[in-house]
Structure 1
Amino acid sequence: MTLEFSVLLRLFDERSVAFRAAVASAPSLDVRVPTCPEWTLFDLVQHLGGVHRFWAATVATGLADAPPGRDRAGGRPAVPREREALLAWSAESTKQLLSALREAGPDRGRWTWWGPSESPQTSGAVARHPLQEIAVHTYDAQITLGALQPLPEEAALDGVEEFLSTCCAWTTAWPHKPAAVDFHATEGRSWRLSLSADGARTTRLPTPGARRSRRRRGDE
């Protein structure tokens, strides 16, 4: 189960604010981002703003067979280089996506770049994916300044699950012997990625406490 739609939007907004706070405190927009070595902070802001505007247009377009054209997604407008104007442009990009998602709600069908998988092609899934992108790039901006802050646990755990169910899940046959890979988070949550002729599927594993509880009930 993913996070509730309202929680996804709240975390997306909070991470976006944290991202802009990191950019605002940087000594220069031209500083290189260690975790994205070909990008400067300016490039990072430009990338995220463009992504948010693209998804805003995608959500507003509704169910479609292809992503919106550049005219609908805002084209490639000139992004301001001056810091205050750039941050305002970034905030407007966030606002556009949040507004589109709130108007659509979580269940409407939408175009997505991922095909049939465990992640539905809905506005709710669209809300989930940009949250994880802004969470990662907020980390990138903070590490550039040497001022890392903890990632909200609920966002981090959902990020693992979203990656496994969106980026790692597919319906084409696994061409090797069936296999399974288990992932364990220090916070106690675990997942299994199963690879077989049916493709790849992710399941959440019971927590150690839940397994012990079931064993005790079985012994009674």
Structure 2
Amino acid sequence: MTDSLEYGALLQLIDERSAAFGSAVAATPSLGAPVPFCPGWTLFDLVQHLGTGQRWWAAIVAAGPAETAPAKDAAQAPRELKALLAWYAESNELLLRALREAGPERECWTWWGAGMSPANAWGVARRRVHEVLVHTYDAQLAAGAVQPMPADVAIDGVAEFLETCNSTPVPWPHEPATVHYHATEGRSWLLALDGTGAWPAPLTDDAALPSASATGTAEQLLLFVWGRLTLSGPKIEGDQQVFEQLIAWEPEE
């Protein structure tokens, strides 16, 4: 794995990014404010989504190795702001407590079991860091006060997305291609797409030119792969159609 953080650092980041998320929610004039890039969602919906997710993954980690995931809690979050923020803080603490008690190596169910990210508590912690990171951006955007992301966390976020969301044995249904992502902070990643699936690949000096490339800050690249920036966001070179195909691709295992 190209950019992995230590387990303790991941838990600290979950806590820090969740605090930033709560601050963004508290600063928004209305919980009914629409959330850009989450069609049909209000800020309340975003908080409920993230809080329910923290609780669900807490239960998944606590359950240990399993063939299926436990059911999500269907209860509605409170709609009053102070109570909602307290509910979210409790949701976050439930996840952190489960992760602390489990330790990084505990195996558990994950939806990315066939990919490169490990199906264990460390993999869950890393995924939740970036889930909270991007949804904090969503909440800040709804509040009209976006703050810069920590560059090192955004760098790891690009790698994590490729290793988790763009890592699958499902055959690529188009012509084989390679995609190069280059962060202006000095980090680069390569994604290979072919009949074996989609896999992050090592960058070598003698590698052939990629089919397409995207260049920007780590934050821009992270927002791009998460669908928060369009093709007009980072600098795109090569065959733009490859990115269009990748964005539209929904592999089913």
Give yes or no for TM over 0.5: yes
More helix by share: 1
Contact 1:190–1:206, Cα closer than 8 Å, also in 2: no
Secondary structure at the residue paired with 1:201? strand
Q: Which runs of 4+ in 1 moved over 6 A?
A: none
| 1:212 aligned partner | none
Asked which structure has the greater CA Rg, the reply is 1
Looking at structure 2, the residues matched to 97 and 181 of structure 1 have their Cα atoms a distance apart, in angstroms, of 34
CA offsets, 1:57-92, max 9 Å, x none? Answer: 00000100000134xxxx322311111000000000
Which of 46, 50, 53 is residue 51 of structure 1 equivalent to? Answer: 53
Cα RMSD, aligned residues only: 1.7
- TM normalised by structure 2 equals 0.76
2:56 partner amino acid: F
Which of 81, 84, 101 is residue 83 of structure 1 equivalent to? Answer: 81
Contact 2:48–2:76, Cα closer than 8 Å, also in 1: no
2:61 partner amino acid: V
- The offset of 1:10, in angstroms, is 1.0
Secondary structure at the residue paired with 1:32? coil
Looking at structure 2, the residues matched to 13 and 205 of structure 1 have their Cα atoms a distance apart, in angstroms, of 33
Count of aligned residue pairs for this structure pair: 203
| 1:188 aligned partner | 186
Looking at structure 2, the residues matched to 206 and 15 of structure 1 have their Cα atoms a distance apart, in angstroms, of 34
CA offsets, 1:81-124, max 9 Å, x none? Answer: 11100000000000000010011111111100113111111110
- TM normalised by structure 1 equals 0.87
Looking at structure 2, the residues matched to 35 and 161 of structure 1 have their Cα atoms a distance apart, in angstroms, of 22
Looking at structure 1, the residues matched to 48 and 68 of structure 2 have their Cα atoms a distance apart, in angstroms, of 23
1:35 partner amino acid: F
| 1:218 aligned partner | none
Secondary structure at the residue paired with 1:36? coil
Which of 19, 26, 29 is residue 27 of structure 1 equivalent to? Answer: 29
- Report percent identity of matched pairs: 56
Q: Measured at CA, do residues 18 and 206 of structure 1 come closer, stay the same or move farther in structure 2, by a change above 3 Å?
A: farther
Q: Measured at CA, do residues 78 and 117 of structure 1 come closer, stay the same or move farther in structure 2, by a change above 3 Å?
A: closer
